[in-house]
Amino acid sequence: MTTDIRPVNIGLIGLGTVGGGVVRILKEHHDDFLRDQGVDIRLVACASRMEEEAVALGVRDLFSFDGSDVINNPEVDIVVELVGGTGVAREFVYAALESGKRVVTANKAIMATCGHDLLGVAGAKGLEVAFEASVGGGIPIIGALRNSLIGNRIERVVGIVNGTTNYMLTRMGESHLDYATALAEAQANGFAEADPSADVGGADAAAKIAILTTLAFNTEVVLEQVPTEGITALAPIDLEYAEQMDKTVKLLAVALRTPEGIDMRVHPTMLPKAHPLASVSGVFNAIYVVGDAVGETMFYGAGAGSGPAASAVVGDIIEVAQRITYGITRPFLRFGTEQLPLVPSADVVSSFYVRLPVPDRSGIVALTAKVFADNDVSIASMMQGAADDSDGTAQLIYVTHPVREGALRATLEGIQATGVLTGEPVVIRVENP
> Could you say which of 3.40.50.300, 3.30.70.260, 3.30.70.270, 1.10.150.80 is the CATH number of the domain covering 348-430?
3.30.70.260
pLDDT of residue 389: 65
Residue 269: φ, ψ to 5°: -140, 140
Chain segment 4-18, per-residue pLDDT in tens: 899 999 999 999 989
- Helix 405-418 and helix 364-374, axial crossing angle in degrees, nearest 10: 140
What CATH fold (topology level) applies to the domain 7-137+306-326? Rossmann fold (3.40.50)
Please determine, looking at this structure, whether the domain spanning 142-302 carries the CATH number 3.30.360.10: yes
In angstroms, the CA 83 to CA 137 distance is: 15
Residue extents of the structural domains in the chain: 7-137+306-326, 142-302, 348-430
Chain segment 177-212, per-residue pLDDT in tens: 999 999 999 999 988 989 999 999 999 999 999 999
pLDDT of residue 216: 96
In angstroms, the CA 60 to CA 51 distance is: 7
Q: Reduced to 3 states, what is the DSSP secondary structure of residue 80?
A: strand
Residues 6+ apart with CB under 8 A from 133: 18, 105, 106, 309, 310, 312, 313, 316
Of 304, 312, 297, 286, give the one whose Cα is nearest residue 133.
Answer: 312
Residue 426, beta-bridge partner list: 355
pLDDT higher than threshold 80 for residue 82: yes
pLDDT of residue 1: 46
pLDDT of residue 334: 72
Domains 142-302 and 348-430 share a fold: no
What is the pTM assigned to this prediction? 0.94
Range 359-377 average pLDDT: 94
Largest CA distance in the chain: 85
Burial class of residue 190 (count of CB atoms within 10 Å of its CB; 0-12, 13-18, 19+)? exposed
Chain segment 287-340, per-residue pLDDT in tens: 999 999 999 999 999 877 778 999 999 999 999 999 999 998 877 677 888 889
Residues carrying an active site annotation: 208
Tell me the average pLDDT of the chain: 94
In angstroms, the CA 204 to CA 220 distance is: 18
pLDDT of residue 129: 96
pLDDT of residue 341: 96
pLDDT of residue 307: 87
